[in-house]
């Protein structure tokens, strides 16, 4: 399997612009997670889905952030409008509920810089 | 709610020396515990995990960790550090799999391991 795929790997944008991050989970996995990693706050869970349905979005920082999972093989995290404090590395991870060990498989991340 | 505390944001060892990275957890129910490693500019990958059974868990690259319930600890060790071990290490906890919310992992802040030649 190719693992979790994220695109783009790097994104540089200007404040106020819309940013869309994309994720393709491992085929067959039914859980998908979006994390944000910063020096100040470490690794934070933003939202996660089970069978394409959002289960817990309590980590989404503001209404400027939204996430969707239209099908089992694709998810997006959107920031509109973006702000400099959104600069971070965003990770997508997936897992299989039948694997009760809860191992999550991480993508390589998207490094977002908002100028 | 569960939580994880990693003692020491930065640990520096010499090549060949013992590696000890500390992790303490808080959980109201028996936890599942994980160590993940993150190499520069990469995502996290699983190093080892404890779910049930033997409390001494062996992982990849010669690492191991011991679950000590009485101390609420899950420290990561490696007898002899190698230059390639330089990375950031994250301890994480989840509280089982009954119910959707239990698939959440709560991560510690991470410990950056530096290995000196």
- In the predicted model, what is the mean pLDDT of residues A26-45? 92
Predicted pLDDT of residue A39: 87
Predicted pLDDT of residue A101: 65
Interchain CB contact of A100 with B (< 8 Å): yes
Q: Which of A93, A88, A104 is nearest to A33 (CA)?
A: A93
pLDDT band, very low/low/confident/very high, at A84 (cuts 50, 70, 90): very high
**Arithmetic mean of pLDDT over chain A:** 92
Phi and psi angles of residue B62, each rounded to the nearest 5 degrees, phi first: 80, 5
pLDDT band, very low/low/confident/very high, at B7 (cuts 50, 70, 90): very high
Predicted pLDDT of residue A98: 64
Predicted pLDDT of residue B95: 67
Cα of B62 vs its chain's centroid, Å? 13
- Share above pLDDT 90 across residues of chain A, in percent, rounded to a whole number: 77
* Most A-contacting residue of B100, B101, B102, B111 (CB-CB within 10 A), to test interface: B100
pLDDT tens per residue across span A36-66: 999 888 899 999 999 999 988 989 988 999 9
Q: Which of A9, A36, A41 is nearest to A90 (CA)?
A: A36
Q: Which of B21, B30, B35 is nearest to B92 (CA)?
A: B35
pLDDT band, very low/low/confident/very high, at A99 (cuts 50, 70, 90): low
- In the predicted model, what is the mean pLDDT of residues B5-25? 96
- Share above pLDDT 70 across residues of chain A, in percent, rounded to a whole number: 95
Predicted pLDDT of residue B28: 74
Q: How far apart are CA A69 and CA A75, in angstroms?
A: 4
Predicted pLDDT of residue B99: 47
**CB nearest to B104's CB, from A42, A48, A108:** A48
Kindly report the nearest CA distance between residue B12 and chain A, in angstroms: 19
- In the predicted model, what is the mean pLDDT of residues A63-86? 96
Predicted pLDDT of residue A4: 95
B104 and A106 within 8 Å at the Cβ level: the answer is: no
* Most B-contacting residue of A21, A39, A43 (CB-CB within 10 A), to test interface: A43
Confidence check: pLDDT of A102 > 80? no
Predicted pLDDT of residue A100: 60
Q: How far apart are CA B9 and CA B21, in angstroms?
A: 10
CA dist list (Å): B4 to A1, A58, A109, B27, B32: 31, 19, 23, 9, 12
Predicted pLDDT of residue B41: 84
Kindly report the nearest CA distance between residue B80 and chain A, in angstroms: 27
């Amino acid at each position: 399997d190719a693992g979790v795929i994220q695109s783009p790997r790097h994104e540089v944008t200007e404040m106020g612009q819309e940013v869309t991050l994309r994720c393709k989970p491992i085929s067959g996995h039914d859980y998908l997670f979006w994390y944000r990693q910063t020096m100040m706050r470490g690794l934070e869970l933003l939202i996660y889905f089970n069978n394409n349905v959002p289960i817990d979005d309590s980590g989404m920082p503001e209404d400027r952030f939204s996430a969707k999972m239209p099908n089992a093989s694709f998810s997006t995290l959107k920031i509109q409008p973006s702000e400099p404090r959104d600069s971070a590395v965003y990770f997508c991870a997936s897992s299989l509920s039948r694997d009760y060990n809860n191992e999550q498989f991480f993508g390589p991340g998207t490094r977002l810089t908002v100028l | 709610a569960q939580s994880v505390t990693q003692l020491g944001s930065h640990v520096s060892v010499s090549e060949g020396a013992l590696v000890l990275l500390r992790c303490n957890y808080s959980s109201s129910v028996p936890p599942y515990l994980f160590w993940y490693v993150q190499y520069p500019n990469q995502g996290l990958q699983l190093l080892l995990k404890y779910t049930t059974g033997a409390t001494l868990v062996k992982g990849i690259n010669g690492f191991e960790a011991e679950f000590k319930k009485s101390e609420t600890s899950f420290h990561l060790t490696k007898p002899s550090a190698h230059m390639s071990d330089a990375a950031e290490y994250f301890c994480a906890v989840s509280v089982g799999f009954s119910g959707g919310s239990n698939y959440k992992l709560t991560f510690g802040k991470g410990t950056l391991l530096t290995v000196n030649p």
